[in-house]
Amino acid sequence: MKALVYHGPGKKSWEDVPDPVIEDPTDAIVKIETTTICGTDLHILKGDVPAVTDGRILGHEGVGVVTEVGPDCTKVKVGDRVIVSCITKCMECDYCKAGLTSHCQTVGGIGWIFGHLIDGTQAEYVRVPFADNGLIPLPEGVTAEQGAMLSDILPTGYEIGVLYGAVKEGDVVAVVGAGPVGLAAIMTAGPAGASKVIAVDGNEYRLEQAKTFGATDTVTVADGVDVAAELKKFSRDGLGVDVAIEAVGVPATFTTALDSIRPGGRVANVGVHGKAVEFPIDRDWINNITITTGLVNATTAPDLLGKIQAGEIDPAKFVTHRFTFAQIDEAYETFSNAAATKALKVIIT
Ligand code: NAD
Ligand code: ZN
């Protein structure tokens, strides 16, 4: 088959590789119909993720058709059209049972994310371990493009942003960063009950997009703008927002999130920070705040599917560009230059 193979920092190629085979009785093989590119793929390609070895097939999002199942698969069947969850999980260890599938002990204590520790979805076929747990049937009426947004991006914004932030009825929510992950948080915060969702970004085009995803207000980051002070103006009594979701991953935006919340408020950090952030505990201990963060578990895809079917959310909005597998280099170029190309999610079929 053909697959996009990582060959060390900055190097990838669309090349012939052996077809994947069933290795364990709980495996399935999926023929990929639709895949996409995530910011994490760009980090891997840059060499920022040390565990990724030469020869790894990239990609962790996608929808396809099951072509083969191992003898211990009881739910998935050949011919099923499925969403591939970005992370594999045994559902038998204590972490999986507690919903912390990203720390599945059976797969080594940190989830096997496709395109990272196991071969990925930017390929004609992918082997899916623990297939009964990692494959979600694509229901009638939900498109492959919508489904592909449930592999990672939508669960990330929802689980680590909205659910960890405990967004509830009436909350005023700030989302710092309106990239795909921030937009996923924006899209799911309204249905969770937020009365206001304020998008923060320096990119005006992204802020326009944010409004179509459900942002009620926006704050533009620019020199001389005190973003936290601007966010407080949207709060009920000027004391601060109830929840600030950090979806950038730089120390300054963590500080913005922290400075914008009210006493008793919550910061849900989703961004992956390459450096330590500052946390002034001497100032903030008295404010009874909550800070959460973590790696996506991708356990909410079935709930999110229900929201799509009910017409509450429509992740088709993420899709800005479409390519074929033969154009995968162009797809990466387009996605890597998002500021110029206005790309959000690029679809590859
Ligand atoms: P992205 O780079 O596409 O988007 C980031 C957005 O932040 C952009 O629109 C950019 O204009 C904006 N931005 C940059 N600097 C800013 C600033 N100072 N203030 C406000 N906005 C600013 O990234 P993404 O794909 O949306 O991902 C966001 C973060 O989530 C990344 O750090 C990513 O690694 C992380 N992530 C975390 C998990 C997890 O499991 N926790 C999973 C996936 C991604
Ligand atoms: Zn487990």
**Residue 254 CA: which ligand is closest?**
1
pLDDT at 114 > cutoff 90: yes
Higher confidence at residue 112 or residue 100? 100
pLDDT at 172 > cutoff 80: yes
Confidence bin at 51 (pLDDT 50/70/90):
confident
Distance 86 CA to ligand 2 centre (A): 15
Q: What is the CATH number of the domain that holds 99?
A: 3.90.180.10
Q: What is the CATH number of the domain that holds 226?
A: 3.40.50.720
DSSP 167: -
Which of 293, 313, 332 is the last residue before a domain boundary?
Answer: 293
Which pLDDT does position 110 carry in this prediction? 77
Whether residues 61 and 101 fall in one domain: yes
Report the relative pairing of strands 172-176 and 135-137 from DSSP bridges. Answer: unpaired
Q: Into how many domains does the chain fold?
A: 2
**Residue 105 CA: which ligand is closest?**
2
The minimum-distance atom of ligand 1 relative to the CA of 153 is 43
> What are the start-end ranges of the H helices in the chain?
39-46, 94-97, 131-134, 144-148, 153-156, 180-189, 204-212, 227-232, 251-260, 281-284, 301-309, 328-336, 338-341
Burial of 13 (0-12, 13-18, 19+ CB in 10 A): exposed
Nearest-CA residue for ligand 1 atom 31 is 271
Distance 177 CA to ligand 1 centre (A): 6
Which of 271, 293, 315 is the last residue before a domain boundary?
Answer: 293
Whether residues 227 and 326 fall in one domain: no
- ipTM of this predicted complex? 0.98
Distance CA 84, CA 327 (A): 22
The minimum-distance atom of ligand 1 relative to the CA of 296 is 40
pLDDT at 204 > cutoff 80: yes
Which pLDDT does position 108 carry in this prediction? 75
Pocket of ligand 1 (CB under 6 A): 39-40, 156, 160, 176-182, 200-203, 206, 221, 247-250, 252-253, 270-272, 295-296
Confidence bin at 112 (pLDDT 50/70/90):
confident
Whether residues 122 and 13 fall in one domain: yes
pLDDT tens for residues 295-347? 999 999 999 999 999 999 999 999 999 999 999 999 999 999 999 999 999 99
Whether residues 273 and 188 fall in one domain: yes
Whether residues 37 and 74 fall in one domain: yes
Whether residues 133 and 219 fall in one domain: no
pTM of the model: 0.96
Cβ atoms of 309 and 141 closer than 8 Å: yes
Whether residues 340 and 248 fall in one domain: no
Distance 167 CA to ligand 1 centre (A): 20
Range of the domain at 199: 155-293
**Residue 159 CA: which ligand is closest?**
1
Whether residues 179 and 269 fall in one domain: yes
Whether residues 123 and 191 fall in one domain: no
Whether residues 146 and 209 fall in one domain: no
